[in-house]
Amino acid sequence: MELTQRLAQKPHFTEHWSMGKGEITPLHRLLFWFVIKNVVPRGQGRNLVELMDMCFTDLLDRCEKINLLAIMISHIARIANTSKDHDMGYGFLLTLVFEELDIPLQKKVSFQLSDEIGSSTLVGCNFMVTKGSSTGLEQGP
Indicate whether 19 belongs to the interface with another protein (CB under 8 A).
Answer: no
Least distance between another protein and beta carbon 103 (Å): 5
Residues 6+ apart with CB under 8 A from 76: 89, 90
Whether the Cβ atoms of residue 18 and residue 48 lie closer than 8 Å to each other:
yes
Backbone angles phi, psi at 96, to 5 degrees: -60, -40
What residues from 80 to 119 belong to the interface with another protein (CB under 8 A)? 80-81, 88, 91-98, 100-101, 103-111, 113
Q: Does 122 bind another protein (CB under 8 A)?
A: no
DSSP 7-34: HHT-TT----SEEEGGGS-HHHHHHHHH
Interface residues with another protein (CB under 8 A) are: 1-4, 16, 27, 30-31, 34, 38, 40, 51-52, 54-55, 59-61, 63-77, 79-81, 88, 91-98, 100-101, 103-111, 113
